[in-house]
């Protein structure tokens, strides 16, 4: 009954693959409707439509890509009208230590500027692999833990929207049946 | 019917004054219960109790003060148990350009690490005075706009908690009767 | 004998005015050559030419503007070839608390990605007015302290270049004759 | 003829191990003197002594640890007296995506507050492994690339100090004989 938008810009294809997994994770909560769009396909109506949004971009120079930045800068009549939506970030960087977390932080900064509530995920999806400030990746998502980190942030977004927009409080992750902190 | 915690550490008294105004702003939403505590008075029970939290600290070296940081580091059995609470930041710096926004960002980072949903405020409270990443201040809050920026982020926290925890959607700021973008 | 580039993108004219003052401050060190260019006038040769660079942009959504970001993203054969240059940031935001410090931080992040050494200024230019992470401003620089903060970061850039590139160690700011911490 | 300080706080031992490798990398430049100290062993004299500094801390809540933060907060008569030193960061986090880059950024913020020039490293030390904003690690450094990333940022610090303090410009990394971007 609530709506989730997965919005991405992809240069070489890696972020697009992440977006697909984020959307799959979001779809695990059956009550939400999921829409996945690149910035070429999306417009202001998608932003008004959604209750929660995951924004993905390649890490470029340690920040959100200029193309994604400009998508938001060029929106008309959106600022001050989408406050309170729930947001999160995902990104693919060239190498570990290459700025993906800081790029997620820049996406979160952008979303906060629109008055959104942004979050990361406490859960680990595998040993030494987490998503505290957004889903981060080096290159293409291939390993199961890389795929799972995308799915987890998508699912968490969907959970928060279900809990807070639809009042489905039993979907709160503190009630989760799945493992939130595997040790292997 | 929902609970708001204003948690602060103050060194010289400025952040304590901000905390009082943040709490006043939060109290403008009558359905919420407000609790204001310094880190010397607060403990894990306050964190479990609240649905929304505003965290305030002096800006020290461009970041949250070490004392506030250690309050959170030393908590036992809290991490992974307070996910999804709604959080925001406020801080007093030595001078404009002195790191208050980055200090708010560090508080938001800390809260996101606990799985919280963090936000800033799109509204301006006066000409060229806003609270996009938390309420910021140089020195003591004295001018009306300085006081109002504290109140506004407190009120916004209380509004999001009312909307999302209690389902009082008519309290959404997009329905606000007060001015959210004064031009003078 | 060393070279300083003031590189800016301005949307409404405020950042261009800041750039002029930054360049004036840089010119206070007579041994350095100062070049001021908008992103429409600059290219990779300017980046190779300079030993120090100040980068200015309006604060847009709490970050460096997309146009400035794309200037850097579209450079060919520059990355890995301009390591070690000395850099700093300046920006004009819509209102205090509106993200200027975080925008400076994003410019610093961008410059660090190119291997530069980035800095802020410890000095206060007036009571409660400083430039710790770059020169920040709300709207147009008009007041003397606003102008002075632009000049100071330009001068500091020029000082570091003189000290470190030309070995003019007596220009180190710790030997400065001007006031670095006025109390009024 | 110039001095490098590797300053660290370690909780479980991982950051201490990183510090050792950072110091080894710094020692590859024979003209510099290297000193490695934990915050329990260091004081203001070490800060005055050094020309370059690498600061390491565990990632705690996505930021520099409170203990390291307080080391800097409690210094007397240091602020405004160590401007212009060259600084960098290293940290060990619980898992990839766990905030190490943002923790490095917080260390860089802290150092910038003291007027230092901070940097990251453009180089990759292995396929998909870099140090753009400081050396980052999940858990204990064990793999060669993890060890090499610590060494590389130590070496780069030592190189910048040699180039800028001692004027040994042939040590500029753009003249490096070692691989700065291995593809495997």
Mutate to test the interface with A, among D97, D106, D147 (most CBs of A within 10 A): D97
The complex scores an ipTM of 0.97
Q: Do C95 and B149 touch (CB under 8 A)?
A: no
Q: Say yes or no to pLDDT of A136 above 70.
A: yes
Q: Do D139 and A132 touch (CB under 8 A)?
A: no
What is the C-alpha separation between C57 and D57, in angstroms, rounded? 33
- Are the beta carbons of B21 and B137 closer than 8 angstroms? no
Give rounded-to-5 percent helix, strand, coil for chain A.
35, 30, 35
Closest residue in C to D164 (Cα) is: C164
Place of tokens 């070496």: D155
Q: Do B66 and D69 touch (CB under 8 A)?
A: yes
Q: Of A180-184, B148-152, D169-173, which range is least confident? A: A180-184
Give the rounded distance of the alpha carbon of A38 from its chain centre: 13
The pLDDT score that the predictor gives to residue A183 is 72
A102 touches chain B (CB under 8 A): no
What is the C-alpha separation between D104 and A182, in angstroms, rounded? 26
Q: Say yes or no to pLDDT of C111 above 90.
A: yes
- Are the beta carbons of A152 and A179 closer than 8 angstroms? no
B183 touches chain C (CB under 8 A): no
Domains in chain C, ordered, with CATH?
Answer: 2-175 (3.40.50.360)
Q: Say yes or no to pLDDT of C184 above 80.
A: no
Helix (H, G, I), strand (E, B) or coil at D90: strand
Angle, CA of A35, A41 and A42, to the nearest 5°? 65
The pLDDT score that the predictor gives to residue D184 is 62
B99 touches chain C (CB under 8 A): yes
pTM of the entire predicted model: 0.98
The pLDDT score that the predictor gives to residue A182 is 85
Q: Do B174 and A81 touch (CB under 8 A)?
A: yes
How much of chain C, in percent, has pLDDT values that exceed 70? 99
- 3-state secondary structure string across D124-162: EEECCEEEECEEEEECCCCCHHHHHHHHHHHHHHHHHHH
Ranges of residues in chain B with a pLDDT under 50 are none
Q: Do D130 and A97 touch (CB under 8 A)?
A: yes
Residue D101 CB contacts under 8 Å (≥ 6 apart), including other chains: A97, A99, A100, A101, A102, D133, D134, D136
Closest residue in B to C60 (Cα) is: B132
The mean per-residue pLDDT over the stretch A64-73 comes to 98
Angle, CA of B114, B24 and C61, to the nearest 5°? 55
- Are the beta carbons of C99 and B132 closer than 8 angstroms? yes
Name chain A's partners: 3 or more CB pairs within 8 A: B, C, D
CB < 8 Å from B in window 156-175 of A:
160, 163-165, 167, 172-174
The pLDDT score that the predictor gives to residue D182 is 86
Read off the pLDDT of residues B99-123 as tens digits, 9 standing for 90 and up. 999 999 999 999 999 999 999 999 9
The mean per-residue pLDDT over the stretch D43-52 comes to 98
B120 touches chain A (CB under 8 A): yes
Name chain D's partners: 3 or more CB pairs within 8 A: A, B, C
The mean per-residue pLDDT over the stretch A48-65 comes to 98
Helix (H, G, I), strand (E, B) or coil at A160: helix
- 3-state secondary structure string across chain C: CEEEEEEECCCCCHHHHHHHHHHHHHCCCCCEEEEEEECCCCCHHHHHHCCEEEEEEEEECCEECHHHHHHHHCCCCCCCCCCCCEEEEEEEECCECCCHHHHHHHHHHHHHHCCCEECCEEEEEECCEEEECEEEEECCCCCHHHHHHHHHHHHHHHHHHHHHCCCCHHHCHHHCCCCCCCCC
DSSP code for A85? -
Q: Do C128 and B96 touch (CB under 8 A)?
A: yes
What is the C-alpha separation between D122 and A114, in angstroms, rounded? 32
Which residue from A122, A131, A121 is spatially nearest to A101, judged by alpha carbons?
A: A131
The tokens of B116 are what? 């919280």
Chain B residues near residue A117 by CB distance under 8 angstroms: 86, 117-119, 160
The tokens of A114 are what? 């629109």
From A99, A102, A110, residue closest to C61, measured CB to CB = A110
The pLDDT score that the predictor gives to residue B184 is 62
Read off the pLDDT of residues C53-73 as tens digits, 9 standing for 90 and up. 999 999 999 999 999 999 999
The tokens of D159 are what? 């190189």
Read off the pLDDT of residues D138-164 as tens digits, 9 standing for 90 and up. 999 999 999 999 999 999 999 999 999
Read off the pLDDT of residues B60-89 as tens digits, 9 standing for 90 and up. 999 999 999 999 999 999 999 999 999 999
Read off the pLDDT of residues C70-110 as tens digits, 9 standing for 90 and up. 999 999 999 999 999 999 999 999 999 999 999 999 999 99
Neighbours of D74 (CB within 10 A): 9
What is the C-alpha separation between C147 and C24, in angstroms, rounded? 10
B60 touches chain C (CB under 8 A): no
Read off the pLDDT of residues D126-145 as tens digits, 9 standing for 90 and up. 999 999 999 999 999 999 99
Q: Do C63 and A109 touch (CB under 8 A)?
A: yes
Chain B residues near residue C130 by CB distance under 8 angstroms: 94-98
B25 touches chain C (CB under 8 A): no
The pLDDT score that the predictor gives to residue C182 is 85
Shortest alpha-carbon distance between residue A5 and chain C (Å):
20
């Amino acid at each position: 009954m609530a709506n989730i938008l997965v919005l991405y810009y992809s240069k070489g294809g890696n972020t697009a693959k992440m977006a697909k997994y984020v959307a799959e994770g979001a779809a695990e909560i059956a009550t939400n409707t999921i829409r996945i769009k690149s910035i070429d396909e999306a417009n202001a109506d998608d932003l008004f439509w959604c209750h929660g949004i995951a924004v993905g971009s390649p890490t470029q120079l340690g920040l959100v890509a200029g193309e994604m930045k400009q998508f938001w800068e060029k929106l008309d009549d959106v600022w001050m009208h989408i406050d309170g939506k729930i947001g999160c970030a995902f990104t693919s960087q060239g190498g570990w230590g290459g700025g993906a977390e800081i790029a997620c932080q820049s996406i979160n900064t952008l979303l906060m500027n629109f008055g959104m509530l942004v979050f990361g995920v406490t859960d680990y999806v595998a040993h030494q692999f987490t998503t505290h400030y957004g889903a981060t990746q080096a290159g293409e998502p291939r390993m199961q833990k890389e795929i799972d980190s995308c799915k987890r942030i998508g699912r968490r977004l969907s959970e928060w929207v279900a809990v807070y927009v639809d009042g489905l409080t039993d979907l709160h992750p503190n009630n989760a049946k799945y493992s939130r902190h595997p040790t292997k």
